[in-house]
A and B are shown apart, each in its own frame.
Chain A
Amino acid sequence: MSDLPHIFATKPSRGRSLEKGTFWVFRLATYLVLACGLFVFGDIFVKGAGTVFQTSFPFVNTTFLTHSPESLYVFEYDGKKQEMGDTEFRAFREGEETKAKIAGKPAPKFNTESYVYSAGGIWPCIVGTVLLVVGSMTIALVLGVSSAIYLNEYARDGAFVRFVRLAILNLAGVPSIVFGLFGLAMFVLALKWNVSLIAGWFTLAFMVLPVVITASEEALKAVPKGFREGSLALGATKWQTIRSNVVPYALPGILTSSILGIARVAGETAPIMFTAAYVVRDKLPWDVDKVSDFFFQGVMALPYHIYVVSSKIPQNEYTERVQYGTAFVFLLIVGLIAATSIVLRNKLRSSYKW
């Protein structure tokens, strides 16, 4: 004891070393998770940036973002390797043939290699994904928050309510491909909606419902009982109390659940494979004759496009560009929608502070 500087100095012991050791285990585990995340995002950003950005003005590859997918033609001309999309190539070929005709020379032959979906852009996919996310999250929030309010505020505790909660929990464990098959059986075939936006909306909504219900219930439970009692004691009805004294204060929690839901809904391929997604489609969703046609048309979607370009066609450097570019754009869009949700949540938090 005499070699310690003073009476409150740390006494070295095995217990203390163990404390330090466990601290470092937790810290390293966190850093490992961070490293994996950075690696995944970094890989996509670095490789995708090559497709999405360009060195010349306007620095963003607007073709990629605003055109439909096309086939890519690669050929040699004038000793240089040329890459052209379908429309550009046809115009180019016509131009060369006309020039040759005028000059009296024979029509030039182009030795091309063509790659499907490797040129043009992914605009219809972006539109399709945004539509799918907005529609399915609306349905999920309406159904989910209503269920959460019923289960938390109205339903009496009993065997039935416990059964409902168990069913919702089990729904969370169903694989997404099974949701796809359910959507196919119920919405596409039985209700005869065919492969359509609306079938995709409902399939995705049911998939994300457990998350929304659980998080909304937690948010409602967190609102103090005193708010409800105080309101009822003044002669308010139950719904008046819930509407003006409970739900507004639970909204930030409900929106958090929607942020989680958005990321899932935007990225799932299996549920939309059979219910809403087309491999390729010429028309954009707003090219419809009647308003009702809008809901009953299929769309292209970003995750499905990545799947198609990665597995349905032979792989090469050109398809890799499209894959990473699509993944990059996908992350950007999900990030944007989530950021909007976060901004909205923060605004609500500050106005409904308690």
Chain B
Amino acid sequence: METPAAPTKFSVTVPASTTAKTGTATTLINIENFDFYYGAKQALFDINLKLDDKRVTAFIGPSGCGKSTLLRCLNRMNDLIDGTKIKRGNISIRDVDIYGRDVDSIELRKRVGMVFQKSNPFPKSIYENITYGLRIQGVSNKARLDEVVEKSLRGAALWDEVKDRLHESGLSLSGGQQQRLCIARTIAVEPEIILMDEPCSALDPIATAKVEELIHELKKQFTIIIVTHSMQQAARCSDKTAFFYMGKLIEYDDTRTIFMNPGNPQTEAYVSGRFG
């Protein structure tokens, strides 16, 4: 699938398949002048970022640079932590300020799903894991639930492996399968955007490859934002990449540009492995 590009002085090769998709990209998520605080400590400084619809965007940067924080702001999961504050700026999805007073964070999270770093399948059966998101919305029609289970498991490339044991516990699966179960669970609710917070960091290389293949498939239907520590993964999976450092957005551009020809010297230092 990948043919290596011409050798460069940087350590990351960007596969030829990772080119900008044809057709114009529209902005789905608009982050403007965004300042975020954990209590008294400022974690994000004046972030300005436009994320495209139906594309994969990667957030990269060293530990503690704020990329996971920004990701969690997009579906208001940071609301669950005491003392978090936005002192300036806003985040809009489809031109609606998601931190507005009349915004229901429950509705937001139905449209903006999340896959966590440590896979967290519920200790229920595989079937119940997938149908959880629909059942809490009141869907109880068994035919519809069965249909959604098969569609989501196929979409997560897990159907063939588990179709005979849908009523076994989700915890009986291997690590990679559990993470794909979590992805299936997320897409069952049919969100528009999927946020992935280092989804492969706890997985072996083969499971990682399977999840990355999945991301290539999923981006036809969903907008994906992925936070990753692995630059190779960002190079393989994403259309555009944003590089963060110490809470600031340093550079945001097409993945090819970031890894082959970055504008900012800090970006160049990071992607060539000189720090981080």
Contact = CB atoms under 8 A, between A and B. Distances in A.
A and B co-occur in one complex: yes
Contacts of A352: 123
A237 B169 CA distance: 24
B133 A235 contact: yes
Nearest to A352: B123
Contacts of B106: 235-237
Interface stretch (A224-232, A266-274, A307-315): A224-232
Contacts of B122: 227, 230-231, 245
Given A157-B82, A226-B118, A354-B171, A234 B123 contact: no
B137 interface: yes
B185 A353 contact: no
B125 to A, nearest CB: 11
A157 B83 CA distance: 10
Interface string A212-229: 000000000000101101
B132 interface: yes
Interface residues of B, number: 26
B189 interface: yes
A233 interface: yes
A231 B182 CA distance: 11
B77 A233 contact: yes
Interface of B: 75, 77, 80, 82, 106-107, 109-110, 113-114, 116, 118, 120-123, 132-133, 136-137, 169, 171, 182, 185-186, 189
9 contacts: A226-B118, A227-B120, A227-B122, A230-B121, A230-B185, A235-B110, A235-B136, A245-B122, A353-B171
Given A234-B132, A354-B171, A226 B120 contact: yes
A229 B169 contact: no
Interface residues of A, number: 21
Interface string A326-354: 00000000000000000000000000111
A235 B114 contact: no
A230 B82 contact: no
Interface of A: 156-157, 224, 226-227, 229-237, 240, 244-245, 249, 352-354
Contacts of B107: 235
A156 B118 CA distance: 26
Contact of B185 (A226, A229, A234): A234
B80 A232 contact: yes
Contacts of A354: 123, 171
Interface centre among A229, A235, A352, A353 (most CB of B within 10 A): A235
B123 A249 contact: yes
A348 to B, nearest CB: 13
Nearest to A245: B122
A191 B267 CA distance: 74
Contacts of B120: 224, 226-227, 229-230
Given A226-B118, A240-B136, A233 B171 contact: no
Contact of A234 (B80, B82, B171, B186): B186
A234 B136 contact: yes
Nearest to B182: A230
Contacts of B137: 235
Nearest to B169: A353
Contact of A233 (B114, B118, B123): B114
B136 to A, nearest CB: 5
Contacts of B110: 234-235
A237 B116 CA distance: 19
A231 B77 CA distance: 11
B117 to A, nearest CB: 10
A229 B109 CA distance: 11
